[in-house]
Chains A and B, each alone.
Chain A
Amino acid sequence: MFCPIPLILLVGGLGYVAYATRYNLGSLRSPGIGFFPVLMGVGLVLVAGAILFRQWRWVSTEKDSEAREAAFHDSLGVNKAYAVMSTLVAFAVLHSILGFWISVFGAMLALLRIAGVPNWRGALFGAGITAVISYLVFEFWLGVLFPAGFLR
């Protein structure tokens, strides 16, 4: 079963090393700001490469890797995972535009439905309660300022 993580880290590591070499590397006597990142980046590339090589040899000897990969994805309930991830990304994008508490309400509503709360009424009630309690605790009691969004 092919795992893209070492490949992503290998490519990312190469980019990281290339970017780090733009900084002053200095010398052993006086290491510059790029010295340590280059060392770590090279290590990252080598280790990711080693895992990738080992994985490639293993995958090439495995006959039913595609079937296993499909079973693996099914077992994870990937649709729910994608839905939760999309909700979180939407929150990160929208919280400063819509306002934090409206976004909390929206995110909670979506997450409750994804997690399996069967009806909209229950989900709306849960989302409303969570947003109000969070507001009272964090903004009213602790005095933290959150983005007001378009309500400002």
Chain B
Amino acid sequence: MGVVENLTAGFFQALTPGNLLFAFLGVALGSLVGVLPGIGPLGAMSLLLCTTFGMSPIHALILFAGIYYGSMYGGSTTSILLNLPGESTSVVTCIDGYRMTQKGRAGAALFIAAAGSFVAGTLSVVGLMLFAPPLAEIALRFGPPEYFSLTAVGLVILTYISSGSKVKAMLMVLLGVAVSTIGMDPVTGDQRFTFGILALSQGVDFIPMAMGLFGIAEVLNVVTKSSEVGIVQSVHLREMLPSRGEIRRSIGPVIRGSLLGFLIGLIPGPAAVISSFTSYAVEKRLSKRKSEFGQGAVEGVAGPEAANNAAAGGAFLPLIALGIPFAPPMALVLAALLIGGILPGPTFIQEHPDMFWTFIASMYIGNLMLLLLNLPLVGLFVSVLRTPTKVLMPVVAVLCLTGVYAVNSSSVDVWVLVIAGMAGYVLRIRGYELAPLVLAVVLGPKVEVYFRQSLFMSDGSLSIFFHRPISLSILLIPIVVIIMRLLVSRVTQTIRGRASAHEESG
């Protein structure tokens, strides 16, 4: 069957009441957690993981996907109205979005953000639909050396693209990989670093670790700052239509943001955050009205909001086609699928075509739901923010404690949550990024297994990673990126040097 036939069949499935209900629940919850600081999509998905035991895998997939891309929509609302990003992906939207609110254009900014998010979300699903099947076919030719190169390069790129200190990010990656070695050896099944504690034999679970590092650490961060939400401006539906000029100025940024976001979504780490910042920088560079940036330029809202939504869609591609989660929320989608007995990867689309196409169709529907849900109900979502942080943060902390126990019925997980939360808080205020640490915990066992299997295959020769064309191509990616970046900075320096010399002589 072709794409059209498959997609039509997917829509028939996605439009059944059960699938529609889970799509709606997902996007509504996603919008809500996007608005609220503290819990985030990762926390919400972690809390709901225990509910997926009694759920069909397609329902779990639709629900979790809805939460993830729904949170991107929700995050922009508070950025625009309150200068308070609900999610880190919407930080950059504050700059021009809030200035638009101050100028009385809040409704237009919200409309542009929602419409841009819808277009980008839809385009990213098109990308996922078109690229996932061929990528999965290519991945069928992957062996352990290729998978090792892919995961190891993923961790290297994750270090390289981190916004803070690269060395600190590298330290977090190594710490995460070290933590991932606790428990059963993935090749032989022997115990390592368990110190005789039976509960550690299954290793340190990713879920309490992520909930601690993101959820509890955020609670600590907010409680210690004791900031409250300011006055929320009410926005009426009739005020939401942007002017023709604003629409015209938004089209280019939305399309560029969509493409950029989808591509950046394919790389490991906090791709949605990076894509929004990159889009903002690109739009500022391309704009004829550079001086308006920071003063309420509509391009500064349209581009980043499109980019972070497209990145959320793009992040599904490595998971669906390769079985590798390159973003922390994708690790939870993977966990939900594994609970349902489904293993994503190169054979996933061949073995479960109905599930893949239903999922794709539900993402189209979910994006439409988000558009319809967010524009008229923006006031309702913002009113949630009026909940005082002194009530909200304790609720988030207790939900984390309860939810984390509910996943595995394990007291060790409660300890992991608490320790990770405290460590995450300290690491964050000292400038250490947490995303590399979490992703290293997820990818660490895969890196080790593929590395050791490759060495078994090659009789101990490391050249196996360089002799196989696909592996070599993957390994060359970061080298090419670094060389290109060095060349660009060298050329820029030379041009600047010549320009300043010319000015001095002139």
A interface list, Cβ under 8 A from B: 3, 5-6, 9, 13, 16, 19-20, 23, 27-31, 33-37, 40-41, 43-44, 47-48, 50-51, 54, 76-78, 80-81, 84-85, 88-89, 91-92, 95-96, 100, 104, 107-108, 111-112, 114-117, 126, 130, 134, 138, 142, 144-147
Distance in Å from the Cβ of A32 to the closest Cβ of chain B? 8
Q: Hey, which chain A residues are within 8 Å of B170, CB to CB? A: 47
Contact in complex: B224, A80 (CB < 8 Å): yes
**Residue with the greatest number of chain A CB neighbours at <10 A, chosen from B178, B226, B448:** B178
Contact in complex: B456, A30 (CB < 8 Å): yes
Contact in complex: A108, B402 (CB < 8 Å): no
Task: Give the residue name and chain of the B residue nearest to A88 (CB).
Answer: B418
User: Contacts A31-B452, A77-B224, A115-B223; is A126 near B398 (CB within 8 Å)?
Assistant: no
Interface residues of B in 248-299 (CB under 8 A from A): none
A44 to B395, CA, bound (A): 36
Task: Give the residue name and chain of the B residue nearest to A111 (CB).
Answer: B394
Contact in complex: A31, B394 (CB < 8 Å): no
A9 to B430, CA, bound (A): 14
Q: Hey, which chain B residues are within 8 Å of A28, CB to CB? A: 455, 460-462
Contact in complex: A111, B460 (CB < 8 Å): no
Which of A34, A41, A126, A147 makes the CB contact (< 8 A) with B178?
Answer: A41
Task: Give the residue name and chain of the A residue nearest to B423 (CB).
Answer: A5
A5 to B394, CA, bound (A): 27
Q: Hey, which chain A residues are within 8 Å of B393, CB to CB? A: 111, 115
Contact in complex: B414, A134 (CB < 8 Å): no
A58 to B122, CA, bound (A): 49
Contact in complex: A36, B181 (CB < 8 Å): yes
User: Contacts A36-B448, A84-B223; is A9 near B192 (CB within 8 Å)?
Assistant: no
18 CB contacts below 8 A, A to B, read A16-B178, A20-B192, A28-B461, A30-B460, A33-B187, A34-B192, A37-B193, A40-B177, A44-B174, A44-B175, A44-B178, A77-B225, A107-B397, A115-B223, A115-B389, A134-B398, A142-B51, A144-B406
A120 to B193, CA, bound (A): 45
A45 to B456, CA, bound (A): 27
Distance in Å from the Cβ of B494 to the closest Cβ of chain A? 29
Q: Hey, which chain A residues are within 8 Å of B452, CB to CB? A: 31, 35-36
Contact in complex: B430, A3 (CB < 8 Å): yes
What is the predominant secondary structure among interface residues of chain A facing chain B? helix
Contact in complex: B398, A144 (CB < 8 Å): no
Contact in complex: A114, B223 (CB < 8 Å): yes
Q: Hey, which chain B residues are within 8 Å of A34, CB to CB? A: 192
Contact in complex: B455, A5 (CB < 8 Å): no
Distance in Å from the Cβ of A58 to the closest Cβ of chain B? 12
A47 to B393, CA, bound (A): 35
Per-residue interface assignment for chain B, residues 407 to 450, with 1 indicating a CB less than 8 Å from any chain A CB and 0 otherwise? 00101001100100110011101101000000000000000100
User: Contacts A40-B178, A81-B223; is A104 near B171 (CB within 8 Å)?
Assistant: no
The 7 closest A-B pairs by CB, nearest first: A29-B460, A111-B394, A28-B460, A77-B224, A116-B390, A115-B390, A44-B174
Task: Give the residue name and chain of the B residue nearest to A130 (CB).
Answer: B398
Q: 20 additional contacts, CB 8 Å, given A142-B406, A145-B409?
A: A3-B430, A16-B178, A23-B190, A28-B461, A31-B455, A34-B192, A37-B181, A40-B178, A51-B168, A80-B224, A84-B220, A84-B397, A85-B422, A88-B422, A92-B411, A92-B418, A115-B389, A116-B226, A142-B50, A144-B409
Which of B190, B414, B459 makes the CB contact (< 8 A) with A33?
Answer: B190
Contact in complex: B411, A107 (CB < 8 Å): no
User: Contacts A41-B178, A80-B223; is A108 near B398 (CB within 8 Å)?
Assistant: yes
**Residue with the greatest number of chain A CB neighbours at <10 A, chosen from B224, B399, B415:** B224
Per-residue interface assignment for chain B, residues 175 to 201, with 1 indicating a CB less than 8 Å from any chain A CB and 0 otherwise? 101100100010110101100000000
Per-residue interface assignment for chain B, residues 454 to 478, with 1 indicating a CB less than 8 Å from any chain A CB and 0 otherwise? 0110011110000000000000000
Contact in complex: B418, A91 (CB < 8 Å): yes
Contact in complex: A6, B226 (CB < 8 Å): no
Distance in Å from the Cβ of A31 to the closest Cβ of chain B? 5
A116 to B223, CA, bound (A): 9
Which of A54, A80, A88 makes the CB contact (< 8 A) with B397?
Answer: A88
Which of B168, B398, B406, B409 makes the CB contact (< 8 A) with A111?
Answer: B398
Distance in Å from the Cβ of A11 to the closest Cβ of chain B? 13
Contact in complex: B397, A138 (CB < 8 Å): no
A95 to B409, CA, bound (A): 12
Q: Does B357 contact A (CB under 8 A)?
A: no
Which of A31, A47, A76, A147 makes the CB contact (< 8 A) with B429?
Answer: A76
User: Contacts A43-B174, A91-B418, A142-B406; is A147 near B411 (CB within 8 Å)?
Assistant: yes
A81 to B427, CA, bound (A): 14
